[in-house]
Chain A
Amino acid sequence: MAEFRMPSLGADMEFGTLLEWRVKPGDRVKRRDIIAVVDTDKAAIEIEVYEDGVVEALLVQPGEKVPVGTVMAIIRGAAEKPPEAETPAVEAAKAPSVHPPPPAQKEEPSAQKTETGPAAAPPTPESKRKERVKASPYARRLAMEHDIDLQSLTPGGPHGSICAADVKQAIAVPKGPFPEKIPPAAPPPAEEIPASAAPTPEKAAGWKDPAAMRRAIAAAMARSNRDIPHYYLQTRVDMSRTLAWLESENRKRSIKDRLLPVVPLLKAVAVSLQDVPELNGYWIDGRHQPQEAINIGFAISLRQGGLIVPAILGADLLCLDELMEALRDLVTRTRAGRLRSAEVTAATITVTNLGDLGVESVFGVIYPPQVALVGIGKTMEQPWAENGLLGVRPVLTATLAADHRATDGHRGAQFLDTLHRRLQEPSKL
């Protein structure tokens, strides 16, 4: 029997608001299924479940704001028996009329039906999904794709804003926008969420208003500057070999399969962390806690302002093509406001790439409780001396901001040195 609790989705998150359940009592869930959407100060996040089981009871209603750690649902492990008397409180509070079926029947769909009672009849496969209404940027995009004049719509969102539902009404899209993402084991509720409890369009869309995001960033960055004694190192990296390799590689590829220069860079950071693992991890409760998994948080700025730093999980284990695909997926979902809980909590280090904007070097502020941030500047043609010869090469400046409680400059220098060397042998990345 597992208690599914309100997760902490950021360094300074104290409360979360449940926006939506993607499951109902009786649903079978698999590890990594998305079972809920939770709103934080920064974003709406899709929450994954970490073990297989059957949803026993949902204890928090959509719209409720609860502290981190609050039990939100009870999930019965796959091997466990259906509930007996050990959960009287849950039974009494949430499902007074439910009688536990005989244990032998628990695997059968009909038994689930009995077990969950009338409040949650299983939906037929074609049952209509409660559409997640989208925020205004998405609404604008939808309207554009379907040639709809936003002016002609009646605003249904808060503060008179037009939400995607308004647009969809106009184009009469019959199903949800992302049906492919519904975990098969967790069909969405068949019944409409009552209007009073339904998420507002703005919230369901993903990103909150800029002021709330600003406050969340402010809290994390103030904490970082208050608590973390940063040290900074920088090195110039000769990118000629990596770029030449990338160019010849991309020439062989159709435009859809091309790699961006940031991909080998990220891979080089990931494998360099294998050599200097102290920079990959956390400082929590006065203790340095390096992590084995290398999950690179990649700072992605949002068009409406603010930034989100979702993680590429296990970045060192991905080949460059997989990394490109993962990054593409992550950027797309970040901008659409559809991130998953693991992606916003699991980063073990952050990479900030401001090279697109012509910035030469980045002196980052570490995202607590991480202990390092790698900054990437623009690759520019610069004079470069090697073997007594002066030439012009594409050069980028890589920086490291690191927590001096966790590591010393010597270790940091080893990291940048390794990074530089890795980028001289791009075909091995």
Chain B
Amino acid sequence: MNEEKIEQVIFKLLKRIAPESEPGSLSPDENIRRALDIDSFDALNFFIQLHEELGVEIPESDYGRLDTLAEMRRYLADRIV
């Protein structure tokens, strides 16, 4: 799966959590949680749904490496088989 496809999945899930937001307008290095006002519950739900959609189980210790769109795209692209 290429990074564009991954990004589409990310956008879809973010939109589910923050329906009024425009994930497409996020800049690649923006902190997503802060920009979209996502609390820890929604963040966990996001990672759960990411696992369901892409099959990548993210260990808790990696949460800190997934703050921005660019980081997420890279991280997931490396791990999707």
Task: Give the B-binding residues of A (Cβ under 8 A).
Answer: 137, 140-141, 144-145, 247, 250-251, 254-256, 258, 260-262, 301, 303-304, 327-328, 331, 356
Contacts and interface: CB of A to CB of B under 8 A. Distances in A.
Contacts of B37: 303
Given A254-B57, A255-B57, A260 B44 contact: yes
Contact of B19 (A141, A258, A331): A141
Contact of A144 (B16, B40, B58, B61): B16
A327 B39 CA distance: 13
A328 B40 CA distance: 11
A245 to B, nearest CB: 13
B44 A258 contact: yes
Main SS class of interface, A: helix
B64 interface: no
A137 B19 contact: yes
Q: How large is the interface on B (under 10, 10 to 19, 20 to 34, 35 or more residues)?
A: 10 to 19
B78 interface: no
B40 A137 contact: no
Interface string B17-48: 01110000000000000000101110010011
A345 B11 CA distance: 37
- Give the one of B12, B19, B59 with max A CB within 10 A: B19
A251 B59 contact: yes
Contacts of A247: 60-61
Nearest to A136: B19
B60 A356 contact: no
A250 B44 CA distance: 12
B19 A262 contact: no
A255 B53 CA distance: 13
B58 A255 contact: yes
B58 A137 contact: no
B15 interface: yes
Contacts of B20: 137, 140, 303-304
A145 B16 contact: yes
Given A260-B44, A328-B41, A356-B40, A303 B18 contact: yes
B51 interface: yes
Contact of A262 (B40, B48, B57): B40
Contacts of A255: 44, 47-48, 51, 57-58
Contacts of A356: 39-40
